[in-house]
């Protein structure tokens, strides 16, 4: 009888610790870090407008959208928290750089536009322009990827300052040598 009571007590302690970890934000969270599905064709070639990765004014516009100041129908912080730490179960934690670096700018844009199936993340493209969605991507990346920008050629996050403001121009060809004089 004493052995049975000890096993019940041990089981209760283990279950209590598990519940405590879940309630306090233990490692349960969002689950293992893995890449998201690739953006579908209509989104795969969409990228941040040239020059925006380092644009402080666009970043501030993104912040105002995120907190619901610009458009009261759009308030990302009501789920994702004002600091990127989720305040509602199931919301993505934008502060986890190891997870967020797996999202290209086009995947991020696609998820905001179309939502995420089987979650509470709904589509926002009917409430915002494409320009406003890019402003959100710009702001949200600051929680876990501050100072970074997506380099579409390298297919990775790099220092935003290293991304040119405009697409690189084709190299100029050398001018033809002048014809010899007098011939």
Buried b (16+ CB within 10 A) or exposed e, 114-153: beeeeeebeebeeebeeebbbbbbbbbbbbbbeebbbbbe
Name the 3-class secondary structure at 156. Answer: strand
**CATH of residue 135:** 1.10.760.10
pLDDT (0 to 100) of residue 9: 58
Residue 41 phi, psi dihedral angles, 5° rounding = -45, -45
Q: For residues 132 and 107, give the distance between their C-alpha atoms in angstroms, rounded to a whole number.
A: 16
* Residue range 18-51, pLDDT digits in tens: 443 343 343 346 788 999 999 999 999 999 999 9
Determine, yes or no, domain membership for 141: yes
Determine, yes or no, domain membership for 123: yes
Determine, yes or no, domain membership for 146: yes
Determine, yes or no, domain membership for 15: no
Determine, yes or no, domain membership for 50: yes
Query: Into how many domains does the chain fold?
Result: 1
Mean pLDDT of the chain, nearest integer: 83
Look up the domain containing 77 and give its range: 43-161
Determine, yes or no, domain membership for 155: yes
Comparing 25 with 100, which gets the higher pLDDT? Answer: 100
């Amino acid at each position: 009888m004493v052995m049975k009571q000890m096993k019940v007590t041990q089981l209760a302690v283990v279950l209590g610790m598990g519940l405590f970890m879940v309630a306090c934000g233990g490692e349960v969270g969002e689950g293992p870090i893995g890449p998201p599905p690739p953006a579908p064709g209509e989104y795969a070639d969409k990228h941040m407008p040239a020059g925006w990765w380092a644009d402080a004014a666009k970043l501030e516009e993104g912040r105002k959208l995120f907190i619901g100041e610009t458009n009261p129908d759009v308030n990302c912080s009501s789920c994702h928290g004002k600091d990127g730490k989720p305040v509602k179960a199931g919301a993505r934690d934008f502060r986890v750089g190891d997870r967020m670096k797996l999202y290209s700018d086009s995947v991020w844009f696609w998820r905001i536009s179309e939502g995420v199936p089987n979650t509470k993340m709904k589509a926002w493209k009917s409430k915002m322009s494409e320009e406003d969605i890019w402003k959100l991507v710009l702001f949200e990346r600051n929680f876990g990827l501050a100072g970074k920008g997506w380099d579409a050629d390298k297919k990775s996050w790099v220092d935003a300052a290293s991304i040119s403001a405009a697409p690189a121009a084709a190299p100029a060809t050398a001018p033809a040598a002048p014809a010899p004089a007098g011939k």
